[in-house]
Every structure is written in structure tokens, then in C-alpha cells.
């Protein structure tokens, strides 16, 4: 499930969790999420994690002013689909963020609006496989003329995500 709230179940070795941080500064919000593993990640989880990382990088690689927002979603989704996880990618690849956590416009298949310099988005393609786990990193970026500025520069490699 993409969004689960805390409960009373004790985390166990091999569990996966998506840890979310929201930072507020002078009324504006930034988001950073990381897929974390309790003590270890199985080979299947490691492979899925790699797909998630490649999908996020594919999305980041197309971000720049003038690009249709659906192209960002398409870039990420194509990686997830090719790896066989397409049926488990059940939400958009990102959203605008600023005064509220989730604001339109979105990185979705049907969003034709063009990216503009200064827009702020999360980039968070994810997929959620029953019996395997959910995989999503979210980073906040500011769109520039030629790309983006990453404002949530925190480790994202698998080894750093093992708790």
C-alpha cells in the first residue's frame, strides 16, 4: 500500500517501510521519502529497489522547462513496466508541492501542461508488490531552464537504507 499509517505491529527482520519527512520553511513544504529495510533486503527486494531507483532517475533525466508533465510519468513508468511491475505502479510519479503537501499539477499520464522554471515537484515513482514490499523514494526538485535543482540531497543507495 502506498500510504500506511503507524500501527502497533513490531517491525521484523526483512520488513520494508517507506519513511517520509516533510520539512516546513517559511510556509513552504519539501518532501523526502526513502524505502528502508529492517536489518536486511532479500535478493528480490534488492532487484525491485534497483528498478525503483532507475525509474526515479529516468523521471529526473527528462525534467526541464518546456517538457510536458506526462513525459516525466511516462519515463518512470516505462522502466517499471519493462521490469514487470507495471500492474503494481498504482499512483502518479510525482506532484507539485509548496504551500500544501499535494498540489496540482501532477506527473501523471494525462497531464499535458508544460513544466515551467521555478515550479517545485516531488519525483516519486513507486510500486507496491504484495508479499515483496513497497518501493518509493521521493525527492523534491525545483524545475530549471535546463533541468532541475535537487533540494533533498540525502543518501538514496540501498546500503544506506538498511536499518
What percent of the chain is predicted at pLDDT more than 90?
A: 80
Q: What is the mean pLDDT of the chain?
A: 93
pLDDT in tens, 21-39: 898 889 999 999 999 999 9
SS3 154: coil
For residue 102, give every residue at least 6 positions away whose Cβ sits within 8 Å of its Cβ, in sequence order, or none: 95
Does residue 89 carry a pLDDT above 90?
A: yes
| pLDDT for the residue numbered 162 | 95
Collect all residues with Cβ–Cβ distance below 8 Å to 163 and sequence separation of at least 6: 36, 37, 38, 39
Q: How confident is the model over 54-88, as pLDDT tens digits?
A: 999 999 999 999 999 999 999 999 999 999 999 99
List the one residue out of 22, 2, 3, 19 whose CA is nearest residue 151. 22
Delineate the domains of the chain, giving CATH numbers in brackets: 18-161 (3.90.230.10)
Amino acid at each position: 500500500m502506498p500510504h500506511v499509517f503507524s500501527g502497533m505491529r513490531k517491525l521484523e527482520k526483512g520488513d520494508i517501510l517507506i519513511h517520509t519527512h516533510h520539512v516546513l520553511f517559511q510556509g513552504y513544504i519539501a518532501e523526502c521519502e526513502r524505502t528502508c529495510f529492517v536489518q536486511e533486503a532479500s535478493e528480490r527486494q534488492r532487484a525491485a529497489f534497483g528498478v525503483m531507483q532507475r525509474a526515479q532517475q529516468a523521471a529526473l533525466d527528462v525534467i526541464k522547462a518546456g517538457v510536458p508533465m506526462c513525459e516525466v510519468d511516462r519515463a518512470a513508468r516505462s522502466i517499471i513496466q519493462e521490469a514487470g511491475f507495471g500492474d503494481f505502479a498504482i499512483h502518479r510519479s510525482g506532484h507539485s508541492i509548496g504551500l500544501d503537501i499535494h498540489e496540482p499539477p501532477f506527473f501523471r499520464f494525462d497531464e499535458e501542461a508544460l513544466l515551467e522554471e521555478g515550479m517545485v515537484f516531488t519525483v516519486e515513482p513507486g510500486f507496491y508488490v504484495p508479499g515483496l514490499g513497497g518501493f518509493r523514494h521521493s525527492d523534491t526538485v525545483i524545475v530549471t531552464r535546463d533541468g532541475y535543482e535537487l533540494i533533498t540531497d540525502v543518501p538514496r543507495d540501498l546500503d544506506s537504507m538498511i536499518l
